[in-house]
Chains A and B, each alone.
Chain A
Amino acid sequence: MTKNLNAKKLSLIALCAIILLVIPILLGDYHVHVINQIGIFIILVTSLNLILGYTGQLSFAHIGLFAIGAYTSSILMMTYNVPFLLSLLLSMVASAFFGLLVGLIALRFTTHFFAIVTLAFGEIIRLIIYNMPDLTGGPNGIYNIPFPPNVFGLDFSQRSHFYYIILIGAVATVLFVKYMIGTRTGKAMIAVRENETFAQFIGINTWKVKMISFTLSAALAGFAGSIYAHYNSYISPYSFTMMESVTLLLMVIIGGVGTIFGPILGAAFLITLPELLRDVNEWRLVIFGALLVLTIMFMPKGLLGLFKSIQEKVKSSKKPVSNIDSGLGEEERKSVGS
């Protein structure tokens, strides 16, 4: 039984891998571009999910950390001729470092207060970028950011080729977060999310756990930022506004907070939607707002939760036997509880 299931799972993974690999060959440039944007946001939203979904801390600073990654990588490569891979790595280090600094201050606060402080930092980072034209180009931004050098005959100035960098980046990020939450520290993060005071009773150094989570998440945001810069070849402070922060948050919430697939679904959904709604673009924010309210009211576990509950309903209607077991538990529970 389990062997069958494993074989099924493996073939499913193989199928997904093949589909993902051939996407740029089958689809046109426009569709590949949309998918690439989704991929970059999957990295960014997955990083946000580590601190928001798994550690339970609502951060608005991620758009700023994303910007730091984007600017560091561009400036290093253009002004200092640092090779692409090293710029990518250093942009992660820079974001992690600023994440650490922001965390040192912001994580002294909890809940809404933490959110407000991070919101302030997100804006401060954007304003600094805006007001340092010598380094960052100020409001004009940075143009002609070089593409990564060609390898294996892939020309990364083409969207369908850059796709593979984003694919590898997104898969690596998702796998890293999945691995992370399986570790001892990852479990402590979940404990902090569930109940911070109780986590202290158990002997978890909650502050340290939150710092680790925030810094790692900042590094991943920087990673996303670097890829974003080299892919779009142009960045400006207007790409990193508070509104973008809110969109990121929506992606996590609508996809499914604290799940591996939630951010993937959320990013895909919220990037595809405006593309489909091009004609009514001025209504975008209204639609997003309505979606947020509806999600929180009717599917608090996001799209992923919705799919899961549909799946369970289909399953239980097929095999009613499996329900007897839990039904009994419920009755017993009532008699014990009363």
Chain B
Amino acid sequence: MLNIQDLCVNYEKNQVIKGISMEVKEGEIVTLIGANGAGKTTLLRTISGIKSSSSGSIEFMGNPIHKMPSHKIVDLGIGHIPEGRRVFPEMTVKENLEMGAYRRKDSKEMKKELDHIFELFPRLKERISQRAGTLSGGEQQMLAIGRAIMLRPKVYLFDEPSLGIAPLVIAEIAQMIKRLNEEEGATILLVEQNANLALKLSHRAYILETGKISLEGPSEELANDDRVQKIYLGYE
């Protein structure tokens, strides 16, 4: 579904992504694990067209998207939940969700989608007219996910959904990602530092080290790999 070939990305003269090839198939949860500065966020930003690539290609359902502006990529059905639980702090919860559906023009469907999201996250419904900036970290992350669901994307790109969030809420969000995949058939590309969580949640995993993929395979296999256990899972 999402096919990346020999992708290179530069910041000025520094090459951050050094020829990555990877694939996400329909209905999969694929995770990308790596340390700080490995290029995970850059890769996601390049997929959604916020950052431009210097060479290589990205194909989404047969369409080359590596030269497309970001709003067109959103239209094709890629929903990006950026790191740091991004919301519009000055807007209310409801307004944030409505902004999420900005590319949709049918207001009837939007109403349905809103109800659907409040069903998934009852806590957001309680806070519907509260300013998003006053929500807790976990609630903001739920809002950020809800905002992405408003568009019903085919692929979700999650960037560090567990970052800076209370453990109990992390479990809730992980559950939500699983539900999106199992009940709604969404395809998910998940970037995580919390390798433990990511490997449990996903079907397949890629390990990214300073801009290159060093290891890939089914998540269970990687979870049992000696090196992965030592470096990313912290086993002695």
Residues of A within 8 A of B (CB): 184, 187-188, 190-191, 194-195, 197-198, 200-205, 329, 333, 336-338
A198-B86 contact in complex given A333-B134, A336-B136, C-beta closer than 8 Å: yes
Q: Can you report 26 residue pairs joining A to B where beta carbons are below 8 Å apart? A: A187-B95, A187-B98, A187-B102, A191-B88, A191-B99, A191-B102, A194-B90, A194-B91, A198-B82, A198-B88, A201-B50, A201-B80, A201-B82, A202-B74, A202-B99, A202-B147, A203-B70, A203-B75, A203-B102, A205-B69, A329-B130, A329-B134, A336-B137, A337-B136, A337-B137, A337-B138
Residues of chain B within 8 A (CB-CB) of A197 are: 50, 82
A338 to chain B minimum Cβ distance, whole angstroms, is 7
Cα(A56)–Cα(B140), bound, Å? 23
Considering the chains assembled together, what is the distance between the CA atoms of A113 and B102 in angstroms?
28
B89-129 contacts to A (CB < 8 Å):
89-91, 95, 98-100, 102-103
State whether B88 touches A194 (Cβ < 8 A): yes
Collect the chain A residues with CB atoms within 8 Å of residue B80's CB: 201
Q: What are the residues of chain B within 8 A of A190 when measuring CB–CB?
A: 88, 90-91
A202: nearest chain-B partner, CB-CB = B102
- Bound-state CA distance A277–B195 (Å) is 67
How far is A195 from B71 in the complex, measured between Cα atoms in Å? 15
Are B102 and A204 in contact, CB atoms less than 8 angstroms apart? yes
A203 engages B50 (CB within 8 Å)? no
**Is the Cβ of A336 less than 8 Å from the Cβ of B71?**
no
Q: What separation, in Å, do the CA atoms of A195 and B50 have in the docked complex?
A: 14
Considering the complex, give the chain B residue whose CB is closest to the CB of A187.
B99
Counting from the closest, the 8 A-B pairs by CB-CB distance are A203-B74, A336-B136, A203-B103, A194-B88, A337-B136, A205-B71, A203-B71, A198-B86
- Complex Cα–Cα for A202 and B75 (A): 10
B48 within 8 A of A: yes
A191 contact set on B, CB distance < 8 A: 88, 99, 102
Contact of B151 with A by CB under 8 A: yes
Closest to A205 in B: B71
The reply to whether B98 and A201 form a contact with Cβ atoms under 8 Å apart is no
Q: Is B166 an interface residue (CB 8 A)?
A: yes
Which chain A positions have C-beta within 8 A of B70?
200-201, 203
Residues of B within 8 A of A200 (CB): 50, 70-71
Complex CA distance for A329 and B103, rounded to whole angstroms:
33
Contact A195 B86 (CB under 8 A): yes
Q: Tell me if B38 counts as interface (CB < 8 A to partner A).
A: no
A194 / chain B contacts, CB cutoff of 8 Å: 88-91
User: If A198-B86, A333-B135, A336-B166 touch, does A203 touch B151 (CB 8 Å cutoff)?
Assistant: yes
Q: Bound complex: CA of A190 vs CA of B74, how far in Å?
A: 19
Residues of A near B160 (CB, < 8 A) are none
- Complex Cα gap A336–B48 (Å): 32
- Which A residues are CB-close (under 8 A) to B135? 333
Q: How far is the CB of A322 from chain B (nearest CB, A)?
A: 14
Mask, B65-78, CB within 8 Å of A = 1, is: 00001110111000
Q: Which residue of A lies closest to B101 (CB)?
A: A202
The reply on B1 being an interface residue by CB < 8 A is no
Alpha-carbon distance between A94 and B70 when the two chains are bound, in angstroms = 32
Chain A residue numbers with a CB within 8 Å of B136 are: 333, 336-337
By a CB distance below 8 angstroms, the chain B residues around A333 are: 134-136
The interface residues of chain B lying within 8 Å CB-to-CB of A205 are 69, 71
- Determine whether B139 belongs to the interface, using a CB cutoff of 8 Å to chain A: yes
Chain A minimum-CB-distance residue to B49: A200
CA distance A202 to B80 in the complex (A): 8
Q: In the complex, what's the smallest C-beta–C-beta distance from B130 to chain A, in angstroms?
A: 7
B222 proximal to A (CB < 8 A): no
Expressed in whole angstroms, the minimum distance between the Cβ of A331 and any Cβ of chain B is 11
A143 to chain B, nearest CB (A): 48
In the assembled complex, the Cα of A184 lies from the Cα of B100 at a distance in Å of 12
Residue of A nearest to B48 (CB): A201
Does B180 sit at the interface, judged by CB under 8 A? no
Does B169 sit at the interface, judged by CB under 8 A? yes
Produce 1/0 per residue, B138-153, CB < 8 A to A: 1100000001000100
Q: Which residues of A contact B139 (CB under 8 A)?
A: 336
B102 touches A188 (CB 8 A): yes
Quick one: which of A195, A197, A203, A204 has the most chain B CB within 10 A?
A: A203
Other A-B contacts than A197-B82, A203-B74, A205-B71, 9 sampled, CB-CB below 8 A, are: A187-B98, A187-B99, A195-B88, A201-B74, A203-B102, A333-B134, A336-B136, A336-B137, A336-B169
Q: Which residues of A contact B102 (CB under 8 A)?
A: 184, 187-188, 191, 202-204
**In the complex, what distance in Å separates the CA atom of A185 from the CA atom of B137?**
29
Taking the closest CB of chain B, its distance from the CB of A201, in whole angstroms, is: 5
A90 to B129, CA, bound (A): 43
Query: Is B50 in contact with A337, judged by CB distance below 8 angstroms?
Result: no
